[in-house]
Structure 1
Amino acid sequence: MPDPEPRNVIEKFFNSVANVLVTPTVWVREKIVEPNQKNYPWYHQKFRRVPTIDECYTDDVVCYFEADAQYRRDRLVDTNILSILRTRFEDCTIYEAPDNLEKCKHIWKQYEEAQTNWFIKYGDLGGYHNVKSAYMKQKHRMIWERRHGPVGSGKKIEDQ
């Protein structure tokens, strides 16, 4: 539906001023900005997966840096997932006020499992850690489980 004709001279003047201001802006957006934008079908930038720290050579500094950057991105994603699960549980307990212990149990189990997995991977590493210290933690945990059984299951009894 085209714009109706202006009723008087003042309306014609304001329409012409608006066209002078709007037309170049629309042209720049449609002809320059939108064709040069990166359009992703997802909400965040996807980085290619790089070799992990165990696949890097000992003298390959670039590989260490890339593995550390990927580790930090993965930790940030895992931390945000944990935050989202916690928020869902809190919202569920508020919404399902008297019966929240029964109705929010499945969300609480998901949150506890994610929290345990997060702590297994990133916990007890301190404030300033990197991918190498996390890899060493994983290696030490695997050695422990091989010698003593799963962590938290008690001591493995040696058979004679």
Structure 2
Amino acid sequence: MPEARSPLGAFAQSVTNVIDGPVTWFRETIVEPNQQKSVWYHQKFRRVPTIDQCYTDDAVCKFEAEQQFRRDRMVDNEILSILRLRFEDCMMYEAPDHMKKCTPLMDVYKKAEENWFIKYGDLGAYMNAKSAYMKQKHRMIWERRHGPVGSGMKTEGDHE
């Protein structure tokens, strides 16, 4: 700290040191070393059982699975948004050669978009973990009976 230029300044500095000194010492030696350094926007949640692993009468497990589903959906939405922005930035930056240079980004974005739609598409505004699980189950049954979605249906002679 700079030296006070006047006797009144020296007195004010000594009063400040008497009042602030113990508080500063306590914060620097006790409080700060014992704090956990975590960033508030990187909160990590533990993974919980999915909706198919919950018993039918376990409301707490269902609630946790629902919250996990919502967090996963928000993360998937953000990933898709980031990929879309990267593709759009590439289009703006690389013009007029953007069709050639941005094709890998477009392929990644289209694949992520397809995967998002497979999981969350056509579930409506009030989607929940159970409806997404049922959609996945129905898709697996369809693929077992008819082959991958989009490849055409198997005929009677195609069954193994």
Other structure's SS at 1:152 match: coil
Deviations 1:68-102 (A, max 9, x none): 00000000000000000000000001010100001
Deviations 1:3-35 (A, max 9, x none): 66567899989989x989x97996686467745
Change (3 A) 1:42 1:81: farther
Give the Cα separation in 2 of the matches to 1:115 and 1:90. 15
Give the Cα separation in 2 of the matches to 1:74 and 1:137. 16
2:87 maps to which residue? 89
Deviations 1:96-121 (A, max 9, x none): 01000011111100100000000000
Q: Detail structure 1 runs of 4+ shifted over 4 Å in the superposition.
A: 3-16, 22-37
Summarize the alignment of residues 74-153 of structure 1 with structure 2, pairs less than 5 Å apart.
74-153=72-151
Q: Which runs of 5+ in 2 are unaligned?
A: none
Which range moved further: 42-51 or 32-41?
32-41
Change (3 A) 1:25 1:61: same
Shift of the alpha carbon at 1:132? Answer: 0.5
Deviations 1:37-78 (A, max 9, x none): 542489511111111111111110000000000000000000
Change (3 A) 1:118 1:8: same
Indicate the structure whose relative CO is greater, using CA pairs within 8 Å and at least 6 residues apart. 1
Change (3 A) 1:92 1:14: farther
Other structure's SS at 1:101 match: helix
Given residue 80 of structure 1, which amino acid in structure 2 is its aligned partner?
E
Relative to its length, the structure with more helix (as a share) is: 2
2:47 maps to which residue? 49
Query: TM-score of the superposition, structure 1-length normalised?
Result: 0.80
Q: Percent identity?
A: 67
The Cα RMSD (Å) is 3.0
Other structure's SS at 1:106 match: helix
Shift of the alpha carbon at 1:158? Answer: 1.6
Count of aligned residue pairs for this structure pair: 158
1:58 maps to which residue? 56
Given residue 60 of structure 2, which amino acid in structure 1 is its aligned partner?
V
